[in-house]
Structure 1
Amino acid sequence: MNEHQGDPAHRHHRPEGVDDPTVEALGSLSKALETTERARGHLYSFHQLTGGADLELGRAVRLLREAGHAEWAAKAEAEILGRDVIPGHWTFQIIEAYNDTYYRPFVELERGVVNALAEGRDHLYEAEMKKARRTFAHHDHADRPPAEDS
């Protein structure tokens, strides 16, 4: 652990010896992982929406029976209710496979790269972009949050 790792004032400062191409590569890696996080969120949305649809279908099956349409209720129940979304998989199994096969290895790789190349400091690219784009001496363009200034 380096001397500044726990120091908020240095958390986003480029470690000595880290060049521009490395900072750019780390920024790109971070963006790729952030996109993966969003994709994972969409998988959870898919999971919840599909589950909600299946529960609502169960209600429709019950209502079809109550309305005297037992044949349609039986067909919906047999053909769709509780059906695999892809062969052998419900949505929770897709999420588990994604997490095990892609998401967790990506998170571990990103953390390893940042630890090895930037002393564990996240968002160097973004921090430098903030510094370059902010208006100095403007109260809404602070270098860091007020708690970090003390």
Structure 2
Amino acid sequence: MTTDPNGQEEHSRSSHRRPDGTSDATVLALGVLSEALETVERARGSLYAFHQLTGGADLKLDRALELLRAAGHHAQADLLEREIVGRNVIPGHWTFQIVEAYNSHYYRPFTDIEARLRRELLDGHEHVHEAEMKEARRTHGHPGHTPEP
């Protein structure tokens, strides 16, 4: 952080500044890459939601089994327990294994390469494209359009 003329702390704008000599095409390309990563983050969140929802449904089956047995439907409860409770969601996999495979095979390599390209092409700065868009679209001097938090 830096201090403004009134002695107030402000965030440094250099964390979003385009490195000298960086082209518009490079900034745009890394902006699109960042957007792709944000989409992957959303997909990963959906995968975790799938994991939790499926696991929660499997645990609720215990109550269904209890109620079926209490109603005298032992054969049906046995069928449900044998065929569905604890079943793999895809051959050989519970949802946690799908999440682990996604993380190791796709998510981590994606985030590693995105970070590497930012280091190589933008000195590691994040959201340069977005910061430049904010600067171009804000109304200078308006209190609701300040350049930094």
Structure 2: which amino acid aligns with 1:11? Answer: S
Counterpart of 1:139 (choices 118, 138, 143) is: 143
Question: Where does structure 1 lack aligned partners over 5 or more consecutive residues?
Answer: 1-6, 146-150
Q: Which residue does 1:39 correspond to in 2? A: 43
1:20 corresponds to 2:24? yes
Identity %: 60
Give, in angstroms, the shift of residue 9 of structure 1.
2.5
1:122-141 Cα shifts (integer Å, max 9, x gaps): 00000001001111111010
Q: Which residue of 1 aligns with 2:116?
A: 112
**What is the DSSP-based 3-state SS (H/G/I as helix, E as strand, rest coil) of the residue aligned with 1:101?**
helix
After superposition, the C-alpha distances for 1:45-87 in whole angstroms (9 at most, x for unaligned) are 0000000000111210111111111111001001111100000
Q: Which structure has the higher relative contact order (CA within 8 Å, separation 6+)?
A: 1
The amino acid across from 2:132 in the alignment is E
Structure 1 runs (4+) deviating above 6 angstroms are none
d(CA) in 2 for partners of 1:52 and 1:106? 29
Alpha-carbon distance between aligned partners in 2 of 1:81 and 1:58, rounded to the nearest angstrom: 8
User: Following the alignment from structure 1 to structure 2, what is the Cα–Cα distance between the partners of residues 9 and 136?
Assistant: 15
More displaced 10-residue stretch of structure 1: 7-16 or 136-145:
7-16
CA shift for structure 1 position 8: 2.2
Query: Which residue among 60, 71, 77 is the counterpart of 2:75?
Result: 71
The question of 1:51 aligning with 2:39 is answered: no
CA distance in structure 1 between the partners assigned to 2:66 and 2:135 by the alignment: 61
In structure 1, the residue matched to 2:94 is 90
The answer as to 2:100 corresponding to 1:61 is no
TM-score (norm 1): 0.91
